[in-house]
Structure 1
Amino acid sequence: MSVFAGRFDGRVAVVTGGASGLGRETARRIAAEGGAAVLWDIDPDWLEEARKDVGAAHAIAFDVRDNAAVSSAAAETVARFGRIDILVNSAGITGATAPVQDFPVDSWLQVFAVNTHGLFYCCRAVIPQMIAQGYGRIVNVASVAGKEGNPNACAYSASKAAVIGFTKSLGKELATSGVIANAVTPATFESPILQQLPQSQVDYMRSKIPMGRLGDVRETAAMVCFMASEECSFTTAATFDTSGGRTTF
């Protein structure tokens, strides 16, 4: 049982990318702390397995790159639960690993479609309802790559930098509405997303972490859950690092 049992009582939390990795672990913790976790993800098989595993209240399979599908999922969630209090944008992909001159254009477009455009669509769909109820918490999952840039990962680095800039703009827009928006910038942690990368890239990212290890997904999930809670009430348009000492600003 979580030491924060009851922290999310009565709250409805949408978690994108909820079938695996950070999204799944965050949903697990929100459910354990009393919240109704609603998983949004593209893979229906993984999604249903994840829903059962974490004790989520509901799951909707769709592609965040599809704005109409995002709007439909938001409407379905509100119709079922009456509200959305929390949005955790965790859906993301790494894209190709290559220098800029060799980087595939289709991979560049796909990374931005998921990591940046999809995140924008999700925020855009839930914000009106949050403003209307006078309460909301939005957590956008960025990356230290968005602050420092990783070589041979131009699309991922640039898309996550865009997430940081977007979150700073959004947080300022919503500052007097009761809706808080922040970004988390993890260093590399053990996650299925690493399977999209060559081992040399993973080794490089580990070498940049002063603690000398990859993170544990539970460490970042704990930070996300603070950001998603009522306790996070005077910080908005900000970034929270979970980087093992890598980031210095």
Structure 2
Amino acid sequence: MSEPVTHFAGRFAGKVMVVTGAAQGIGRGVAMRAAAEGAQVLLVDRAEFVSEVAAEIGAAAHAFVTDLESHDGAAAVVAQAMALFGRIDILINNVGGAIRMRPFAEFTAEQIDAEIRRSLMPTLYCCHAVLPPMLAQQSGTIVNVSSNATRGIRRGPYSAAKGGINALTQSLAMEYAEQGIRVVATAPGGTAAPVRKVPRNAQGDTAQEQAWMAEAVAQVTQSTFMKRYGTIDEQIAPILFLASDEASYITGTVLPVAGGDLG
């Protein structure tokens, strides 16, 4: 299913937006549409080809390559954005994604740690790093990209990481609302996306892992009322709505975007 892309001219005029995981998929789409709607955008990814996306957008975009699985990486992103723009109005935390699909009992300790590092720590670190400039401004919006996989099979550590993002969203929203900072999240369901340029599991999947993944895909599809995966555009639109001033009275909310599956 393909939905028409709607642009809201000038919706982000004068705004500075940082988008993590911007080299491909949802993050790429968010950055491109935000720039089309007037934002100045810093695209962040550990993949070098994030620079190609920024070049495609044009003068409104800058690229920054770093690994957000460390606090130093998150701090460097904030420093770069402040050096370029002098402020950060919106942070879209989009880094994450299950590395492996398997029953929880089949994960090794090292694999559990890797899933948490990828899908929780970049958001945790970036929220921590961006708060000082937002507090100085007494304004800002953080949109975390979570997942409805908090209820799902074959990806227990990833589910736990996304549950942590939901808790972080609600905790920070309560803590910083009086300082003019909103913290919200979307919880995407299964989303059809182009083939990744960088595979989620660099080691490749065994036949057994592919079978476990097929079980997860079947569960995701059956759990949604609509019995289908969403599109990239169907995920971008609610992220940008929550990031915009149209959502100025919304904070602490985790919005399911999963065809009726609440996760």
TM over 0.5: yes
Aligned to 2:80: 76
1:71-220 matched pairs, under 5 angstroms: 71-146=75-150, 148=151, 150-191=152-193, 192=195, 196=200, 198=210, 200=214, 201-220=216-235
Percent identity of paired positions between Structure 1 and Structure 2: 35
* 1:9 matches 2:9: no
- Deviation, 1:2, is 4.5
Give yes or no for contact 2:70–2:121 (8 Å, CA) kept in 1: no
* 1:223 matches 2:238: yes
Q: How many residues align?
A: 245
Alpha-carbon distance between aligned partners in 2 of 1:5 and 1:24, rounded to the nearest angstrom:
19
Give yes or no for contact 1:7–1:34 (8 Å, CA) kept in 2: yes
RMSD: 1.8
Q: Secondary structure at the match of 1:128?
A: helix
Aligned to 2:53: 50
Alpha-carbon distance between aligned partners in 2 of 1:99 and 1:93, rounded to the nearest angstrom:
17
Give yes or no for contact 1:96–1:104 (8 Å, CA) kept in 2: no
Give yes or no for contact 1:97–1:103 (8 Å, CA) kept in 2: no
Change (3 A) 1:47 1:134: same
Change (3 A) 1:66 1:195: closer
Alpha-carbon distance between aligned partners in 2 of 1:112 and 1:224, rounded to the nearest angstrom:
23
Alpha-carbon distance between aligned partners in 2 of 1:229 and 1:68, rounded to the nearest angstrom:
28
Deviations 1:131-171 (CA, angstroms, capped at 9, x unpaired): 1112111000100112x2x1111011111011001111010
Deviations 1:6-43 (CA, angstroms, capped at 9, x unpaired): 01001110000011111111111100100011111011
Alpha-carbon distance between aligned partners in 2 of 1:246 and 1:81, rounded to the nearest angstrom:
39
2:80 is matched by which residue type in structure 1? E
Alpha-carbon distance between aligned partners in 2 of 1:9 and 1:104, rounded to the nearest angstrom:
47
Alpha-carbon distance between aligned partners in 2 of 1:66 and 1:165, rounded to the nearest angstrom:
20
Q: Secondary structure at the match of 1:51?
A: helix
Change (3 A) 1:105 1:53: farther
1:155 is matched by which residue type in structure 2? P
Alpha-carbon distance between aligned partners in 2 of 1:233 and 1:205, rounded to the nearest angstrom:
31
Give yes or no for contact 1:174–1:180 (8 Å, CA) kept in 2: yes
Alpha-carbon distance between aligned partners in 1 of 2:199 and 2:117, rounded to the nearest angstrom:
20
Structure 2: unaligned runs, 5 residues or longer: 201-208
- Deviation, 1:52, is 2.2
TM-score, length of structure 1 as denominator length: 0.93
* 1:18 matches 2:22: yes
Alpha-carbon distance between aligned partners in 2 of 1:243 and 1:62, rounded to the nearest angstrom:
30
- Deviation, 1:66, is 1.6
* 1:240 matches 2:255: yes
